Structure 1
Amino acid sequence: MCAVTQHLLLGGECTATQLSELGVRRGGVLLVHASMRSAGGDTGSMTGALRRALGPEGTLVVPAFTTENSDTSRSYLDRVRGLSDEARAELRASMPAFDPAASPAPTMGALAETVRLTPGALRSTHPQTSFAALGPAAAALLAGHSQDCHLGEESPLARLYEADAQVLLLGTGFDRCTAFHLAEYRRPDPPRRRYRCVVASEDGRRWWEYEDVALDDSDFAPLGEDFARVRPRAVSTGRVRSARSHLFRLRAAVDFAEEWLGLRRSEGR
C-alpha cells in the first residue's frame, strides 16, 4: 500500500495505486458507483485516479440516471404524497424535459456528475437510466440504448456484460449495484409495469409513456451479501482513500443474481 499519511492518501497517484492493488484492470472497462462522502477528497482527482488506473486504453462508465423528469418514479411519488391535485399538476408542469446533452443527474452523486461533465464524455439517450462514459470503448458501450429498455438487453448494461467489465462499489453497498438489474430482465417472464417521463422533442416538451420490466432493488443488499459470501474469490474488498470498496466482474455478479433472484423471488422472499 502506498503512503501512510492522510495527505498522500488523498493524492491522485496514491489513489490510482490503491485502485490497481484492489484489482482494477489496466485497459479494461469499469462501471463505478461512488460515495465521495465516504471516500473523501475531490471528485476531479478521483476521476483522474480512476482513469490512470485504467490507462489510456481503458473506459470509465458511471450511471447518469434521472428521476426528476418522471411522474412514475419513487422520488416523485414521495414528493407529491399529501399534495392537492392542483399542486401535483403544477409540479408536473414544472418538471424538466430530459436532454442527454444537458440534464444533470444529481441523485447519482458527485463523481458521476464530474465524469458526465468531463470533456469527451459520451452519454446514452435513455430518458431515465442513461449512462455516461469516458474512453475508447465509450461509443460502442453506450450506443443503441432503447428508450423502452431501462437496463436490459438493449441497454449499456448488456454491452458491459459482453465487454467483461468490472464493477467498483466505491464506498457504497451492494444495494447500489445496478448490474443486478440486468439479471431481472433475464428471468423468465419478469413482471412489467408502465413508466412515464417528460422529454425534449422538436415540437418542444412532451410526455413519453412506455412499458418495461418492473425494476426492484429492494433485495439487492442481501443478494450482494450472498454473492460475496458464496463467491468470496470473485469479490475484492479494500480501501480506496477512506472508503471501504468492492470490486468484481459484472458477468459474475449478473450470473449469480439471475440464479439467486430465480430462487428467492419465486419463493416470495
Structure 2
Amino acid sequence: MTTTTAPTHTHTRSRLAGQLAELGVEREGVLLVHASMRTVGPVSGGVGAMVGALQDALGQGTLVVPSFTPENSDTSPHYLDRVRGLGERDREAVRASMPPFDPATSAAPSMGRLSEAVRLGEGAVRSGHPQTSFAALGPLARKLMADHSPDCHLGEDSPLARLYDLRAQVLMLGTGFDTCSAFHLGEYRVPAPPRRNYRCVVTAGGSRRWWEYEDIVLDDSDFAELGADFTRAGAGARIRTGQVGSSTSRLYPIVDAVDFAADWLPAHRAGAAARALCHSSG
C-alpha cells in the first residue's frame, strides 16, 4: 500500500530536504529508506535529486536501501509468477536465461528507481547476498555492508542487524508497511522460526551455477496488518508522519519496528495456523 496526495507542482531538492528534516531525519544518522518515487511526485532533477535531498538531510550520515534480486532465483514468488502456465521446456529456458548475481553489476529492478540510483551512486557499497543485498552511501556504508552471510537473507548476519545495532531510522517514503524489510529481522527473533530451502544463480570459480541453501521462511503477507498494529500500539507514538513531496511518509526507529514484530508475529501467526487447522476440510 502506498500513500500519496495529488501532485500539484514539481518538487525541488531543497524543499524535499527541508521536509525530511521537519519529519525528523537525524543529521549524521543512519537511514534505511523504502521509496516509491511515483507517490513522491515529479522532482526537479529526477531521482538523483531525491537521493541528494536525502543526503542533504543526513549531512555526514549514511543512506541505506534494499537492493534485492529475486529475478535470479527459481524459488522466489517473482519466478513462480513468471513461469505460471508454462511447460517444462519453457521453464527450463527461463532458468537458463537467468544471469548469476554480481554485486557490482546486477540490477535490482523490483526495488524501484531510488534504490537503483543509490546502488549506482558514486562511492556506493553493496552487500554480497545473492538475493537480498543492500546498498549504501556514506561514511558507514562499508561497515554496514560487510559480512552479509550468503545463507542469511535478513537476519543476524545481514545489514539489517547492523542497522539495529546502530539504532538506525527507517523512512517509508510514500510506501506502506507491507514493504517494511525491518519486520523480517523480527521473523528471525521469534522462537524456532520455520525454515526452508532457497535456490539462486551465482558465480563460483568463474562459472555460472545454481546454489541451494537453507534459511528461515520469509513471509511479508501480513506485514500490512502488523504495521497497522505497530502504529496503534505504544510504539506508534514514535512514528512520525508527514508530507515529503506529494507523499505521506513515515519515519520511525528500526529498533521499535523489529522488537514489535518479534513480539507480534508468534501470537498472530500461531493463531492464524490454528484457525486454519480448525477449519480444514482434511
| Among candidates 93, 107, 111, match of residue 110 of structure 2 | 107
Bigger CA drift: 86-95 or 201-210?
201-210
Q: When the two structures are superposed, what TM-score results if normalisation uses the length of structure 1?
A: 0.96
Q: What are the within-5 Å matches in structure 2 for residues 1-269 of structure 1?
A: 7=9, 10-40=11-41, 41=43, 42-56=46-60, 58-230=61-233, 231-268=235-272
Residue deviations 1:186-226 (CA, integer Å, cap 9, x gap): 01110000000001222311111000000000000010011
Bigger CA drift: 121-130 or 228-237?
228-237
Q: What SS does the corresponding residue of 1:97 show, helix, strand or coil?
A: coil
Paired letter, 2:37? M
Q: What SS does the corresponding residue of 2:272 show, helix, strand or coil?
A: coil
Q: Runs ≥4 in structure 1, deviation > 4 angstroms? A: none
Q: Which consecutive residues of structure 2, in runs of 5 or more, have no partner in the other structure?
A: 1-6, 274-282
Paired letter, 2:127? S
Paired letter, 1:117? L
- Tell me, in whole angstroms, the C-alpha distance in 2 between the residues paired with 1:183 and 1:224: 13
Q: Which consecutive residues of structure 1, in runs of 5 or more, have no partner in the other structure?
A: none
Paired letter, 1:141? L
- Alignment length, in residue pairs? 263
Residue deviations 1:143-188 (CA, integer Å, cap 9, x gap): 1100000000000000000010000000000000000000000011
Paired letter, 2:84? R
- Tell me, in whole angstroms, the C-alpha distance in 2 between the residues paired with 1:252 and 1:142: 22
Bigger CA drift: 200-209 or 154-163?
200-209
Question: C-alpha root-mean-square deviation of aligned residues, in Å?
Answer: 1.2
Q: Give 1:6 deviation, angstroms.
A: 5.3
Residue deviations 1:115-160 (CA, integer Å, cap 9, x gap): 0000100000000000000000111111110000000000000000
Paired letter, 1:51? Q
Q: When the two structures are superposed, what TM-score results if normalisation uses the length of structure 2?
A: 0.91
- Tell me, in whole angstroms, the C-alpha distance in 1 between the residues paired with 2:11 and 2:128: 34
